[in-house]
Amino acid sequence: MKETPRSQETAGDPTAARPQHRLGRVFGRTGASSSGIPHRSDGRPPQTPRGARRPGPGGRLGTTPPVPGRPTFLSGRFGSVGPFGSLLPFGAFALCAVLFTLVTWQVVAGGPLRDADERLGRTAFRHGPAWLTESLADLGGLPVAVTVLAVAVGYAAWRGHRARAAAVALAMVAVPVFVMPLKLWTDRTGPLTVDSGYYPSGHTATAMVVYCGAALLLRPLTGHRTGRAWAMPVAVVLSAATGIGLVLRGYHWPLDVLGSWLLCGMLLVLLAAALRWIDNRGAAGTGAGDK
């Protein structure tokens, strides 16, 4: 019987007959499925794949698995409510309503706030250059305000935003609807006349709704970022300047102006909500049409 010849490399080497343990066979050992991937002896896959484990720094234990994401009820902006989008407009509306009620009550009841108002008014009357204060007061007059509103509404309608333009026009129509009954009910006399019907100030209300409403209307239509940023601040300055001019000229008491600011603040919050609703409805209609 012939012996199987051994190679010259292993002949005479006592270690050649010993089996060589290869590390690859250890890690390549498979279970029941013989897939070559290490897993439990019962054939079930491991809970955490080896490739998903990340070693920690400095030889420490691996990092813990990532925690689940934030709950869905916390993913939105805090205070999101209804068409307003946040609690800020709702809070502004409520604050204006409370302060307007307080001021109107003091004017009607002849409280201490009305006494302080009349003392302040008598001190402020006839201060400043007449041409300047008269020009500021005229900013709330119908010739100026209606012209500004007509230009803003007409431009928005020409650009295709007819629903937004109609909302601003309706807000202007609402001014005498709210102001005139209040004038008749409060029956407050003017600073330099015995005539009544001066609370709240109609000129102040007209100026605030026209200028701030035009800013809300034209702000999305302005192509320049600077114009969008300065539209509302300029409108607020014009509204405030109108009220100051009316007081300095002696046409209204300070509380007449403040009452109009508060009343129109509520109206502008509603107008902003209406414009946002119109924009959302238009965006939804456009998205549905693209499908």
Enumerate residues 6+ apart whose C-beta is below 8 A from 288: none
Alpha carbons 19 and 72: distance in angstroms, whole number: 60
Per-residue model confidence (pLDDT) at position 44: 58
pLDDT digits (tens, 9 = 90+) for 67-103: 454 443 333 333 444 444 568 888 999 999 999 999 9
Cβ atoms of 212 and 232 closer than 8 Å: yes
**Nearest-5° Cα angle at 251, 246 to 256:** 75
CA 104 to chain centre: 30
d(CA 35, CA 28): 9
The alpha-helical segments, DSSP class H, found in the chain are 23-27, 87-109, 112-124, 130-138, 142-158, 162-186, 202-218, 225-248, 254-290
Please report the sign of the dihedral spanned by the C-alpha atoms of residue 55, residue 56, residue 59, residue 61. negative
In a domain, 249, yes or no: yes
Q: Encoding tokens for residue 173?
A: 């129509």
For 31-60, the pLDDT digits (tens) are 444 445 555 555 555 565 555 555 555 545
Structural domain boundaries enclosing 193: 86-282
In a domain, 54, yes or no: no
- In this predicted structure, what is the pLDDT of residue 227? 76
Domain membership flag for residue 4: no
Model-level pTM? 0.68
Q: Is 189 helix (H, G, I), strand (E, B) or coil?
A: strand
In a domain, 121, yes or no: yes
Q: Report yes or no on 68 lying in a domain.
A: no
pLDDT at residue 25, as a whole number:
47
Q: Dihedral (C-alpha) 170, 172, 176, 178: value to the nearest 10 degrees?
A: 70
Q: What is the CATH number of the domain that holds 194?
A: 1.20.144
Q: Please name which of 266, 213, 220, 284 lies closest in space to residue 98, comparing C-alpha atoms.
A: 266
User: Could you give the count of Cα atoms lying within 13 Å of 162 in the half-sphere of its Cβ?
Assistant: 2
Residues 212/235, Cβ–Cβ less than 8 Å? yes
CB contact at 8 A, 191 and 252 = yes
Q: What pLDDT shows up at residue 241?
A: 97
Number of domains composing the chain: 1
**Residue 80 located in a structural domain:** no
Position 183 in a domain: yes
**CA atoms of 82 and 169, how far apart (whole Å):** 24
Predicted local confidence at residue 24, as pLDDT = 46
**Helix 254-290 and helix 202-218: axis angle, to 10°?**
20
Cα–Cα distance, 167 to 172 (Å, whole number): 9
> Is 131 within the bounds of a domain?
yes
pLDDT at 225: 80
- CA 181 distance to own-chain centroid: 33
What is the pLDDT at residue 130?
Answer: 92
Low-confidence ranges of the chain (pLDDT < 70): 1-86, 282-291
